[in-house]
């Protein structure tokens, strides 16, 4: 595929997605689409730090939560939505600056656990400080429409994917991937690893906060503590791993698959059964299929018919 | 006033012993095999549910049925090790720890869902006829079930300590934890040692689960909470120290009991904050050597 073809395909997909609310009138389907796009933003933002940089941040929910909470309250107090969204994302980033320096003192597995614990602390605090659900006021609820929510999540998904794609092609992206492969070697080769990791962390948390803001605009009622629930992190992590960690397409395919499975299984099985399937897939991916679904697809494509017969003969 | 302090201490020690017991298995697998199983709390949850089933379906007393649960969890541990962790054994240490954490994370996602299918999402408590009993002692009320649990914990930890220090297999475990390659050259079956060590870790988690079901309650999502408690204790104690884990558990239990008086609902965060601070400034643990 040439670059031109790729641009055309992407443009066609985006235009198709833009026509969804015009063609489909079923609210449940539009809700599915909105969730899928929200998960794409969230998973892609995690992918930047967890996939490309190899720093599995299990505290992503904290930044999602801060973004969601700030956006929600500012918006409900009358700030225009775009301003509230940006403020929420900036608040998440500021928090990331505060904890980034101490967090990156921790290496490898301690960074993973440390960030998880950090998000848990925030969750406990917000469950206690704000124990009541935030429900949209009747003035907004009366005119509640899914269409603007859908378009907002589409816009966020497109921006997040585009930015992560651009970073993955840039000097910054190469530095991040070199840190993932071997941090000491990257440092020796002249990559300022702490600065690179922090940059990736800040961008990642900015978009996590942004995704949180979209959720805050979308949810009719939400417990502030739930916005910090570790489930947001876990969903993002399994989506990225099952889709294909450290790839652009992986989180997108993972999100589609995740929401589809979630909705289909909830028809027959108790809520949460999709996590069972995804959990098993996650373990399989970690142990035997490091590329996830994307890796599997490229591997299958490489097995051209000729090679396949060779393999059977062997 | 003195009564309140004494009562707080007693309550703290009761809970703290459980923290210690939950942490010992994690500390053992992390210390010996460099496997950080964040699904450790899930084995605790399974142990609790099995004891609940035994009492509810067959009327077997949880303390009498303890050996059965130990055997079942040991088996579950061995199977889990073969299925999920054995492939990681030969990786370099850093990769192994990271991947084992991810696999454990997968277990943490899967187990609660299975538990929800088997036992529904309700909170269950194991309530034999003698639960809730207590007696006064020097002006402090001592509850019988936690006291029995404390006795079980102490016996188990002593037994594990002696097992590791005095038996031939224990020597193999310690040797493997120091240098698995050298241990292999000395004729130790490293793979089998790993498998059995992991089984012991899960069996201890199962016992902790019984005691959690007896003194608190078990639900499908209880695993995460206990994994975090165990992690705090392991980091407090320094990795791989069995006795240290027990005492660190007691410290955390008492700290939380005292904290509950002053901090109310924020007490849960107290342990986590301590965890982060220690991780930052004293990663070898309070009792560990630098």
Given a cut of 70, whether residue B228 has pLDDT beyond it is yes
Q: Which pLDDT value is given to residue A313?
A: 46
Interchain CB contact of B99 with A (< 8 Å): yes
Contact list in A for residue B103 (CB cut-off 8 A) is 283, 286-287
Residue A211 is predicted with a pLDDT of 95
How would you class B136 by CB atoms within 10 Å of its CB: exposed for 0-12, middle for 13-18, buried for 19 or more? exposed
Q: How many CB atoms lie within 10 A of CB B237?
A: 27
Q: Which residue has the higher pLDDT, B193 or B180?
A: B193
> In chain A, whose CA is at the least distance from the CA of B87?
A287
Contact B276 A110 (CB under 8 A): no
Domain boundaries of chain A, sorted by first residue: 3-313
Backbone phi, then psi, for B189, in 5-degree steps?
A: -80, 90
Residue among A109, A113, A272 minimizing CB distance to B113: A272
As to burial, measured by CB atoms within 10 angstroms (0-12 exposed, 13-18 middle, 19+ buried), residue B258 is middle
The β-bridge partners of B135 are: B142
CB contact under 8 A, A278 and B113: no
CB B267 within 8 A of CB B218: no
User: A197-229 pLDDT, tens per residue?
Assistant: 999 999 999 999 999 999 999 888 888 888 888
Minimal C-alpha gap between A171 and chain B (Å): 26
Give me the pLDDT at residue B48, please.
93
Exposed (0-12), middle (13-18) or buried (19+): which is B86, by Cβ within 10 Å?
middle
Catalogue the E-assigned strands of chain A: 134-135, 221-222
Strands (E), A167-308: 221-222
pLDDT tens-digit map of A81-106: 899 999 999 999 999 998 888 888 87
Compare CB distances from B269 to A56, A121, A272 and report the shortest one's residue. A121
Place B274 in a pLDDT band, splitting at 50, 70 and 90. Answer: confident
Helix (H, G, I), strand (E, B) or coil at A271: coil
CA A242, CA A300: separation in Å to the nearest integer?
16
Residue A314, pLDDT score: 42
Closest CA in chain A for residue B80: A283
Q: Does B267 touch chain A (CB under 8 A)?
A: no
Would the CB atoms of A109 and B105 count as touching at under 8 Å? no
For residue B112, what is the nearest residue in chain A, using CA coordinates?
A276
Phi, psi of A253 (to 5 degrees): -60, -40
Token couple for A142: 């009366």
| H or E segment and range at residue B142 | strand B140-143
Whole-number pLDDT of residue B286: 60
Query: What pLDDT is recorded for position A266?
Result: 80
Cα distances (angstroms) measured from residue A114 to each of A106, A118, B152: 8, 6, 32
DSSP label at residue B262: H
- The closest CB to that of B265, out of A56, A128, A275, belongs to A128
CB-count burial class (<10 Å; 0-12, 13-18, 19+) for B146: buried
Contacts with A275 from chain B: Cβ below 8 Å: 109-110, 113
Please tell me the predicted confidence (pLDDT) of residue A83. Answer: 93
Task: Tell me how close the Cα of A271 comes to any Cα of chain B, in angstroms.
Answer: 9
Most confident among A203-217, A252-266, B96-110, B249-263 (mean pLDDT): A203-217
In this prediction, residue B290 carries a pLDDT of 43
Instruction: Decide if B231 touches A, using CB distance below 8 A.
Output: yes
Q: Chain A contact for B114, CB < 8 A?
A: yes
Contacts of A237 in chain B (CB under 8 A): 105
Considering only CB atoms, B106 lies closest to which of A105, A269, A282, namely A282
| Contact present, A288 and A297 (Cβ < 8 Å) | no
Chain A residues touching B113 at Cβ < 8 A: 272-273, 275-276, 279
What is d(CA A10, CA A95) in angstroms, rounded to the nearest whole number? 34
Residue B288 has pLDDT above 80, yes or no: no
Low-confidence residues of chain A, pLDDT below 50? 308-314
- Tell me if residue A51 falls in helix, strand or coil: helix
CA B56 centroid distance within chain: 24
How many whole angstroms separate alpha carbon A230 and alpha carbon A246? 22
Fold of the domain built from segment(s) A3-313:
ABC transporter involved in vitamin B12 uptake, BtuC (1.10.3470)
CA distances from B66 to A150, B50, B119, B130, B140 (A): 54, 10, 20, 17, 29
Residues 6+ apart with CB under 8 A from A304: none
Q: What is the pLDDT of residue B284?
A: 61
Which residues are CB-contacts of B102 (< 8 A; sequence separation ≥ 6)? A56, A241, A282, A286
Q: How far is A183 from chain B (nearest CA, A)?
A: 12
Q: How far apart are CA A261 and CA A201, in angstroms?
A: 30
Average pLDDT, integer, range B133-151: 82
Q: Where does chain B have alpha helices with state H?
A: 2-33, 40-53, 66-80, 93-119, 144-166, 168-178, 180-185, 190-215, 222-237, 242-263, 267-281
Q: Read off the pTM.
A: 0.88
């Amino acid at each position: 595929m040439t670059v031109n073809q790729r641009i055309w395909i992407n443009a066609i997909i985006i235009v198709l997605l833009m026509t969804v609310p015009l063609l489909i009138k079923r609210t449940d389907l539009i809700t599915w689409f909105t969730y899928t796009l929200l998960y794409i933003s969230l998973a892609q933002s995690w992918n930047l730090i967890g996939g490309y940089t190899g720093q599995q941040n299990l505290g992503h929910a904290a930044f999602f939560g801060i973004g969601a909470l700030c956006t929600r309250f500012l918006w409900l107090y009358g700030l225009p939505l775009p301003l509230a969204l940006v403020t929420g994302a900036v608040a998440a980033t500021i928090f990331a600056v505060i904890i980034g320096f101490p967090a990156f003192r921790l290496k490898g597995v301690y960074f993973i656990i440390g960030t998880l614990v950090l998000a848990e602390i925030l969750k406990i605090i917000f469950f206690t400080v704000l124990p009541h659900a935030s429900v949209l006021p009747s003035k907004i609820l009366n005119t509640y429409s899914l269409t603007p929510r859908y378009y907002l999540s589409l816009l966020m998904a497109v921006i997040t994917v585009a930015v992560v794609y651009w970073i993955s092609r840039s000097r910054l992206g190469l530095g991040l991937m070199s840190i993932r492969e071997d941090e000491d070697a990257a440092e020796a080769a002249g990559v300022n690893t702490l600065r690179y990791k922090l940059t990736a962390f800040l961008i990642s948390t900015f978009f996590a906060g942004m995704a949180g803001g979209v959720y805050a605009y979308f949810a009719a009622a939400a417990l502030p503590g739930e916005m910090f629930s570790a489930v947001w992190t876990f969903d993002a992590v399994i989506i990225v791993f099952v889709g294909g960690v450290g790839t652009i397409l992986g989180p997108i395919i993972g999100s589609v698959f995740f929401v589809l499975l979630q909705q289909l299984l909830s028809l027959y099985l108790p809520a949460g059964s999709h996590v069972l399937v995804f959990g098993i897939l996650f373990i399989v991916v970690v142990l035997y299929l490091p590329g996830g679904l994307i890796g599997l697809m490229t591997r299958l494509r490489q097995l051209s018919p000729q090679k396949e017969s060779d393999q059977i003969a062997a | 006033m003195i009564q309140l302090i004494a009562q707080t201490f007693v309550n703290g020690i009761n809970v703290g012993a459980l923290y210690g017991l939950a942490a010992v298995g994690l500390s053992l697998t992390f210390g010996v095999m460099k496997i950080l199983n964040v699904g450790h709390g899930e084995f605790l949850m399974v142990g609790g549910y099995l004891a609940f089933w035994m009492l509810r379906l067959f009327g077997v007393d949880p303390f009498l049925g303890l050996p059965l649960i130990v055997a079942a969890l040991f088996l579950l541990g061995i199977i889990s090790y073969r299925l999920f962790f054995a492939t990681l054994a030969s990786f370099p240490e850093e990769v192994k720890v990271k991947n084992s954490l991810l696999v454990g994370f997968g277990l943490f996602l899967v187990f609660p869902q299975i538990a929800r299918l088997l036992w529904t999402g309700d909170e269950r408590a194991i309530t034999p006829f003698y639960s809730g009993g207590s007696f006064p002692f020097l002006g402090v009320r001592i509850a019988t079930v936690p006291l029995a649990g404390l006795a079980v914990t102490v016996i188990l930890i002593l037994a594990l300590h002696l097992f590791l220090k005095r038996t031939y297999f224990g020597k193999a475990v310690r040797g493997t934890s120091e240098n698995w390659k050298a241990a292999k050259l000395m004729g130790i079956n490293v793979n089998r040692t790993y498998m059995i060590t992991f089984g012991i870790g899960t069996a201890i988690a199962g016992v902790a689960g019984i005691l959690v079901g007896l003194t608190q309650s078990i639900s499908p999502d209880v695993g995460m909470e206990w994994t975090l408690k165990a992690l705090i204790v392991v980091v407090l104690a320094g990795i791989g120290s069995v006795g240290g884990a027990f005492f660190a558990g007691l410290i955390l239990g008492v700290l939380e009991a005292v904290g509950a008086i002053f901090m109310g609902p924020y007490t849960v965060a107290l342990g986590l904050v301590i965890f982060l601070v220690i991780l930052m400034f004293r990663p070898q643990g309070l009792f560990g050597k630098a």
